[in-house]
Amino acid sequence: GQNIDQPTEMTATEGAIVQINCTYQTSGFNGLFWYQQHAGEAPTFLSYNVLDGLEEKGRFSSFLSRSKGYSYLLLKELQMKDSASYLCAVRAMNTGFQKLVFGTGTRLLVSP
């Protein structure tokens, strides 16, 4: 089966940088996703990694190491609106193409 771990909660201040880690154990790894979910809203796609390395998209970057079963989401120049839950999700080929296995999410609180 799959197992995904991420911290339950993190706090940071406006303008700072925060790194949210995600570790996973799975066979047939075929991609890792990060989603952002504001309270009471649907998750929205942030990033996708399938090869080792860093993917940068504006203030958000995501890193993957397949050999270590490890990913992180890096948020720079934090803004109040970044307060949300961040969900790490893994797709494994042996679970079917569309099935994503999600971690329980990391709630990020950005304070002034």
Partner 1 sequence: KAGVTQTPRYLIKTRGQQVTLSCSPISGHRSVSWYQQTPGQGLQFLFEYFSETQRNKGNFPGRFSGRQFSNSRSEMNVSTLELGDSALYLCASSRSPGTGRPPNEQFFGPGTRLTVL
Interface residues toward partner 1, by CB under 8 A? 31, 33, 35, 41-45, 48, 50, 87, 89, 91, 95-105
Quote the CA–CA distance of 97 and 75 in Å, as a whole number.
Answer: 29
Provide the CA 90 distance to its chain's centre, in angstroms: 10
What is the smallest separation between the CB atom of 48 and partner 1, expressed in angstroms?
4
Of 5 and 14, nearer to partner 1 (C-beta) is: 5
Residue carrying structure tokens 């050999």: 67
What is the smallest separation between the CB atom of 80 and partner 1, expressed in angstroms?
22
